[in-house]
Amino acid sequence: GDSVTQMEGPVTLSEEAFLTINCTYTATGYPSLFWYVQYPGEGLQLLLKATKADDKGSNKGFEATYRKETTSFHLEKGSVQVSDSAVYFCALRSGNTGKLIFGQGTTLQVKP
């Protein structure tokens, strides 16, 4: 079945460092791909998405490119801030359904 694998955390960075969180997926067909962020004590917020190969999703300085050849959707940010500290989830959706399949999440801690 479909699945998502994320790099294990926690990831600890200093402010203004470059961030990469790896995400790879297994799916039949052509899924849509998402990154969600979860701040402490809150629900999930959609950060960015891409719906077809080579699409780049971007928001708030974060970006990720849908790479069909490597089945990857890595999250990047050029300069992280303390306020980016949260748990990041990669997810996929196959077809027109409400079913998202999530990775296990990666905790990011940014230190001043």
Q: Are 106 and 7 in contact (CB under 8 A)?
A: yes
Which of 24, 58, 101, 109 touches other proteins by CB under 8 A? 101
* Binding flags for other proteins, 19-58, as an x/- string (CB under 8 A): -----------------x-----xxxxx--x---------
Q: Are strands 11-14 and 106-111 parallel, antiparallel or unpaired?
A: parallel
Q: Judged by CB, which is closer to other proteins: 70, or 97?
A: 97
Whole-number minimum distance, CB 3 to other proteins, in Å?
11
The helix (run of H) or strand (run of E) holding residue 100 is: none
Chain residues 52-91 in contact with other proteins, contact rule CB under 8 A:
89, 91
Q: Which residue has the tokens 């990666």?
A: 106
Which of 59, 93, 75, 72 lies closest to 25 in space, CA to CA?
72
Per rule CB under 8 A, count of chain residues that contact other proteins: 21
- Rounded to 10 degrees, the C-alpha dihedral 66/96/86/112 comes to 40
Residue 17 binds other proteins (CB under 8 A): no
d(CA 23, CA 89): 9
Residue 112 binds other proteins (CB under 8 A): no
Give me the residues that bind other proteins (CB under 8 A), please.
Answer: 4, 36, 42-46, 49, 89, 91, 93, 96-105
